[in-house]
A = this chain, B = another copy of it.
């Protein structure tokens, strides 16, 4: 039997569901929370409820949004001819720190037989529909450079090519993949051989 009051134990259980948060970390977070001012705790609870109430998926790119169209899809200053396909909304946050100015499409996962994720679980049909109106001229495949990410990129490019051959998608649509290579600031001698191989394959003319 737990010696903790029921509502405390319940909150610890809730926190334990987060990835990378075990029961010990969850306890520490909850006890820290309970050492705070009552107003601060209420604020957190309300913030969770508010995010749940206000956040929807953008109808166009499936990014998180507080309206039908996210701030990126709704913006006039973005390049509407380039579409970057990513796994999840968190990837967009990272990519927005670069000078990329195009639009995004959130696939909602990566193909992974081990985790029982097949193409039907992803937004492949939605992506095909998005590409079929002819506005997009370049689709950048920006899935992770992992086994699952590579397989997903491969699958998507094959699918799009299939629809290009059937005429549903314009043949002029270019499919590109983000470069795999050595991360900036890293040490060549410690790089794994696959990364090195990719880095050689992707070499470019030196100014």
Contacts and interface: CB of A to CB of B under 8 A. Distances in A.
Interface residues of A, number: 51
Copies in the complex: 2
Interface string A6-44: 111011001001111100000111111111001011111
Contacts of A38: 52
A83 B207 CA distance: 76
A122 interface: no
Interface in A35-59: 35, 38, 40-52, 54-55
B27 A90 contact: yes
Interface string A90-132: 1011001000000000000000000000000000000000000
Contact of A18 (B29, B66, B90): B29
Given A3-B72, A31-B88, A14 B44 contact: yes
A30 B51 contact: yes
A64 B32 CA distance: 12
Given A14-B47, A48-B45, A90 B31 contact: yes
The 7 closest A-B pairs by CB, nearest first: A45-B48, A45-B49, A5-B66, A41-B52, A31-B90, A7-B51, A7-B54
